[in-house]
Structure 1
């Protein structure tokens, strides 16, 4: 095995993370797909965007067991192959059922490799180096989302089907991870046993992540619809905005270790409040400049949410429950993303207006409420180890 402290090893390990947040990057194509896929409602078209999250949440909880049976590296490589097949197949067909099935397979691939992108960090790194790597891991996720988003924005000028070929980006981690990472079949440091139990702090954290991703996904799904219905931009402009949101998250994640030293656990309520302000700004924007400012705020503060969640796991989860706890966080994020349109659209209808701006306003209001709750738990030291209180 290569030295885990070398940059070659770190880059290969981080490469699988560039795919984790790219499944929904195709959301800017929703208006174009709606014109082409006749007989499908808007909710059905939006389900194409969220379907990978359903496949992901089904596989994440079993990734440890599958990894133990097949070997961690084989499990990760299988996930990457499923991602490749599911990612590019929609470029070859107009059949709605085929598209949904292959998008589901794409999500299954994410569910196989994504938990190990985090749990392997706990195995190889500790303390400040762990904090830095978790920040880099989040940066890699957002780098992938930003890169894919920009490529999709360009390809949408030609065809929404062509935009799906952007998922050929999976070839990068297939090569890097395949060549440079060697994980022992039964590694001494990597615990894939599911014998550990998640405590009440982990369960509360999963609820926080679920609600956060519900709100965050509303921005991704509704942005293209908002700028077109309000006649302030085009789908391509929305795709650029979404890709920049990934860039802002990537930059913020890269500085996570430094911010973590200054703010500690107060990063979380600060991030939730910043995201809320960004969502309010997008919902009330009358021009693309304000949309980009709102996207900047959402992306910037979202970049700190998951790294801090995983730092909380490192503090409060027992050693044999860390893989399970990380998997639960990823499941809750995938479930929140998948259920976002199913929950947010009817909720907006209850307020008499199902417009994209109403959905985003409700998401922002929910984030404010979560800010207050998380500030209370942070202030009382709820997420500190018992010995540190």
Structure 2
């Protein structure tokens, strides 16, 4: 029983890693509320994406933080910041304080982001480790979808109460403190601090890391854009309510579990072609969402996009994990994670920028064209490989 509780506690660390956009269903109400104060919709959307910038600050500060705190202390601090920063808008719904709260949330997520993955490999090895890695990925998606559904329920009490969902971090903190042993984390700290002879990234590794980081950046940017816009589309077009929009987003995220389950089958069938195929279908799903005139079609498009979004990211992280020698694993993964977080952080800014460059096209049109170009390049690359 103790071993089971330990596994549950470690897996729970991953349930809130992608919770940044869980409160997206509250955006229509937030936009309406802050409009009375003269705050634009793009500024309100930035409240959601600013968290990704804070996550990047945490990632880049990791080398400094580990000099002063143990791994266990860092995880505890991260969960505490997630709970406090995430739920602060419930009591302090002013724009400035919500902005500050979202930054605190991002700092907390950034502190445990990589650790929630690495800690699995540190506590478990062999087949058990492989199984736990798969469960960790499912826990991440399940946690995100569950939080989004909870947000939809809490919206019935007002937009600020949606942020109470982040108090779940206190449950994770309690599980971690009670059931995760201290000994292994102390050794992890030593291993982190004594890697003085780490080899340097070659030009090829830099180029490949940046290539994977760009692919992650773009797909996350588009997916985040969809996550923020779908609730607005549902409400403004009159095809559903904010609560129903949260259900659509939950289904969209839950498709990640199915994608993870079928990943080995898909990669075995399509091999290197899978990335280009996944990007192509992801782009087509954006078209489907653009022209959906009822909730069912919108939900179908969202589910397809969620499935292939997760497939694309799984391919990217799988390639990144096997790209470099072991001492450089964290460096390569940090580069890819930076691409991920830049993609999320700019999701409210980039669409507006692109529309200003070409006013005749909307953000959905531009993203569809970009997906088509990337898909074509990926498929041409595989044709040349053959």
Relative distance call for 1:188 and 1:376 in structure 2 (3 A) is farther
Q: Do the aligned residues in 2 keep the contact of 1:134 with 1:310 (CA within 8 Å)?
A: no
Which of 211, 232, 239 is the aligned partner of 2:239? 232
Alignment partners' CA distance in 1, 2:190 and 2:271: 27
Q: Are residue 70 (structure 1) and residue 69 (structure 2) matched?
A: yes
Which residue number corresponds to residue 187 of structure 1? 188
The residue aligned with 1:109 is: 108
Within a 5 Å distance, the mapping from 1:200-349 to structure 2 comes to: 200-349=207-356
How far apart, CA to CA, are the structure 2 residues paired with 1:134 and 1:266? 24
| 1:55 paired to 2:71 | no
Instruction: Flag structure 1 segments of 5+ consecutive residues without an equivalent.
Output: 383-389
Q: Cα offset for 1:337?
A: 0.7
Task: Please report how far the alpha carbon of residue 300 of structure 1 lies from its aligned counterpart in structure 2 after TM superposition.
Answer: 1.1
Is the 2:71–2:188 contact (alpha carbons within 8 Å) kept by the matching residues of 1? no
The answer to whether the 8 A contact 2:273-2:379 is kept is: yes
Q: Which residue of 2 aligns with 1:21?
A: 18
Count how many residue pairs are aligned between Structure 1 and Structure 2. 376
Q: Deviations over 1:132-155 (max 9, x none)?
A: 544433322211111111111111
Given that 1:218 and 1:363 are in contact with CA atoms closer than 8 Å, whether structure 2 keeps it comes out as no
CA RMSD of aligned residues (A): 2.7
Q: Which moved more, 1:63-72 or 1:311-320?
A: 63-72
DSSP 3-state at the match of 1:340: coil
User: What CA distance in whole angstroms lies between the structure 1 residues aligned with 2:173 and 2:123?
Assistant: 21
Tell me, yes or no, if structure 1 residue 370 matches structure 2 residue 374: yes
C-alpha separation between the residues in 1 aligned to 2:122 and 2:92?
42
Q: Which SS does the other structure have where 1:317 is aligned?
A: coil
Flag structure 2 segments of 5+ consecutive residues without an equivalent: none
Q: State the distance in 1 between where 2:284 and 2:126 align.
A: 32
Partner-residue secondary structure (3-state), 1:17: coil
Q: Is the 2:84–2:167 contact (alpha carbons within 8 Å) kept by the matching residues of 1?
A: no
* TM-score, normalised relative to structure 1: 0.87
Which deviations, in whole Å up to 9, do the C-alpha atoms of 1:12-65 show, x marking residues without a partner?
222111101111111111111122222211111001111111100111133254
For residue 278 of structure 1, report the CA deviation from its aligned partner: 1.4
- Tell me: CA distance 1:45–1:316, structure 2 relative to 1, closer, same or farther (3 Å): same
Q: Secondary structure at the match of 1:49?
A: helix
